[in-house]
Structure 1
Amino acid sequence: MKVVKYDSAKRYQPEKGWERISLCEESDISIEYFVKPPKHSSPKHNHPNSQILIVLEGQLSIWTEKDGEVLLNKYDTAYIEGDEVHIVTNPLDTPSVGLDIFVPGRSFDFWLKKKDLLNK
Structure 2
Amino acid sequence: MFGGGGGLNPRKMEQMMKQMGIDVEDVEAEEVIIRTAEYDLVFGDAEVTKMDARGQETYQIIGSPEQVEAGSAGGTADDAGSEAEAGVPDEDVDLVAQRADVSEDEAREALEANDGDLAAAIADLE
Q: Normalised by the shorter chain, which TM-score bucket?
A: under 0.3
Higher helix share: 2
Larger relative contact order, structure 1 or 2 (CA cutoff 8 Å, min sep 6): 1
Q: With structure 1 as the length reference, what TM-score do the two structures score?
A: 0.26
Q: With structure 2 as the length reference, what TM-score do the two structures score?
A: 0.25
Higher strand share: 1
